[in-house]
Structure 1
């Protein structure tokens, strides 16, 4: 993938709509040094509307899959991506950013969307990511069960704080 194509010359765009398309692959995720995503294949469609007063409205449509580690077994798993995100850009004196408005220096006029695309992908990945039932690495599941059994075995039940024991009598 040509990562230079993610640097957009906003000053060079004509007033009206411009559509750009990107196919992201593992090389993109390596380039951005993605810590939460191991790779993937994502199609990005970027619609840019330039107004007569040099405001830019960018709509990102991202679809595909990314590879992330399972929270339980740590094996890679595919996560489906399908999102739409927006960003407004205008020219100013220096770089400024808030949630949806970005100001870039007019003398530069170049907007690098590399990191914005990655952030939009991260936003749609669920907080908890686990394989479907039965798809986790069986060896890791066995190891987890083994250590969990030792940790919460009968030994710990015998060492209950007397105050908690008194409270458990209330249940009866």
Structure 2
């Protein structure tokens, strides 16, 4: 019974153990509080820091802030298996649990769905201006007059059906 606190400094060395992830480097602090009770163990994860990710808009790398608080229950049983997202069953003879995958998952879940450079104090993003210029040149403009003139006549009869509704 009781509570134990563990502090972890997560950096590139940690991320190297997970292939093909979104983040390849970072500076993340993780505090894990292990609360031992009579029938189970509760792990509290407090994660904060930054991870280096690729911008979805300009493809440059940047530091994305992450923060997360999560809880996992560890229960004892005859077999080891997972029961939902926050309950893990371990054998009664186990005396240690590897939390590396949990830490990695919680960091990845703290990332926004769309990763884009954050706005500066002037409200502008720090995206690569050359890449943005190239994207604008190559983007498809659906409102251009040229596109309307090049309408495919094979679809005209089908368009008439839509107009009759």
| Band of TM-score, shorter chain | 0.7 to 0.9
Which segment is superposed worse, 20-29 or 127-136?
127-136
- SS of aligned partner of 2:126: coil
The corresponding residue for 2:67 is 82
Distance 1:73 1:148 in 2: 14
After superposition, give the CA deviation of every residue in 1:67-94 in whole Å (9 maximum; x if it has no partner): 1111111111111112110000012122
More helix by share: 1
Determine whether 1:23 maps to 2:14: no
- Ranked by relative contact order (alpha carbons within 8 Å, sequence separation 6 or more), the top structure is 1
Q: Which runs of 5+ in 1 are unaligned?
A: 1-14, 168-172
Give 1:153 shift.
Answer: 4.7
Q: In the alignment, which of 56, 62, 68 is matched to residue 47 of structure 2?
A: 62
Q: In the alignment, which of 54, 71, 87 is matched to residue 101 of structure 1?
A: 87
After superposition, give the CA deviation of every residue in 1:94-113 in whole Å (9 maximum; x if it has no partner): 22112111001222332100
**TM-score for the superposition, normalised by structure 2:** 0.82
Change (3 A) 1:140 1:152: farther
**TM-score for the superposition, normalised by structure 1:** 0.79
The corresponding residue for 1:142 is 133
CA RMSD across the alignment = 2.1
After superposition, give the CA deviation of every residue in 1:31-78 in whole Å (9 maximum; x if it has no partner): 12251112100000001110123x100100001101111111111111
Distance 2:14 2:148 in 1: 51
How many pairs are equivalent?
151
